A and B are shown apart, each in its own frame.
Chain A
Amino acid sequence: MIALDIRIARKSYPGSDGAPPRTVLRDLNLSVEEGAFVCVLGPSGCGKTTLLNLIAGLDRDFDGQIDSAGLHAGALRIGYVFQEPVLLSWRTVGENLRLVMGPVQIAAETDLSLLGAMSLLDYRDAYPKSLSLGMSRRVALARAFVVEPDLLLMDEPFVSIDESTAEGLRQLLLQTWRAKPTTVLFVTHDSREAAELAQRIIVLAGSPAHIVLDRRIELSDAQRADPREIDAVRRQILPAN
Chain B
Amino acid sequence: MARSNRRTATLALSIALFIVIWQILASAVDDRVLPGPAAVLRVLWLDTVSGELAYHLGVTLARVAVSFGLAMIVGSSIGLVMGRSARVDRFFDSWLILFLNIPALVTIVLCYVWFGLSEVAAVTAVAINKIPNVVVTIREGARALDPAYAKLARVYRLGRWQTLRHIVLPQLAPFLRPRPAPDWPWSGRSSWWLSSWDAATGSDFNCISFSSCSTCRVSWPIRSPSWPSCRSSN
Chain A interface residues toward B at CB < 8 A:
56, 58, 75, 77-78, 80, 82, 84, 86, 88, 90-91, 99-100, 147
Contacts and interface: CB of A to CB of B under 8 A. Distances in A.
Interface stretch (B1-9, B37-45, B154-162): B154-162
**Candidate in B149, B151, B155, B157 with the most chain A CB atoms within 10 angstroms:** B155
A112 B124 CA distance: 51
Given A56-B155, A80-B156, A147-B156, A88 B148 contact: no
A80 B157 CA distance: 11
Contacts of B154: 58
Contact of B170 (A84, A88, A147): A88
Given A88-B170, A90-B170, A78 B158 contact: no
Contacts of A82: 148, 151-152
Contact of B149 (A56, A75, A86, A147): A86
Contacts of A88: 149, 166-167, 170
A190 B173 CA distance: 39
Given A82-B148, A88-B167, 12 more contacts: A58-B155, A75-B157, A77-B157, A80-B155, A82-B152, A86-B151, A88-B149, A88-B170, A91-B166, A99-B166, A100-B156, A147-B156
Contact of A86 (B148, B157, B162, B173): B148
Interface in B71-121: none
Contacts of B158: 99-100
A147 B158 CA distance: 12
Nearest to B165: A99
Nearest 4 CB-CB pairs, A to B? A100-B156, A80-B155, A90-B170, A86-B148
27 contacts: A58-B151, A75-B157, A77-B157, A78-B155, A80-B151, A80-B152, A80-B156, A82-B148, A82-B151, A82-B152, A84-B148, A86-B149, A86-B151, A86-B152, A88-B149, A88-B166, A88-B170, A90-B170, A90-B173, A91-B166, A91-B170, A99-B156, A99-B158, A99-B162, A99-B166, A100-B158, A147-B156
A88 B163 CA distance: 12
A88 B170 CA distance: 9
Nearest to B169: A90
A84 B148 CA distance: 9
B89 to A, nearest CB: 19
Contacts of A56: 155
Nearest to A146: B156
A17 to B, nearest CB: 16
Contacts of B151: 58, 80, 82, 86
Contacts of B167: 88
Nearest to B166: A99
Contacts of A58: 151, 154-155
Contacts of A90: 170, 173
Contacts of A86: 148-149, 151-152
A88 B165 CA distance: 12
Interface in B167-183: 167, 170, 173
A56 B155 CA distance: 7
Contacts of B157: 75, 77
A56 B157 CA distance: 11
A47 to B, nearest CB: 17
A121 B181 CA distance: 41
A93 to B, nearest CB: 14
A124 to B, nearest CB: 17
A88 B151 CA distance: 12
Nearest to A89: B170
A75 to B, nearest CB: 7
A88 B158 CA distance: 13
A114 to B, nearest CB: 15
A17 B152 CA distance: 29
A83 to B, nearest CB: 9
B119 to A, nearest CB: 38
A75 B157 CA distance: 10
A80 B151 CA distance: 10
A137 to B, nearest CB: 14
A115 B157 CA distance: 22
Contacts of B162: 99
B21 to A, nearest CB: 48
A28 to B, nearest CB: 21
A77 B162 CA distance: 17
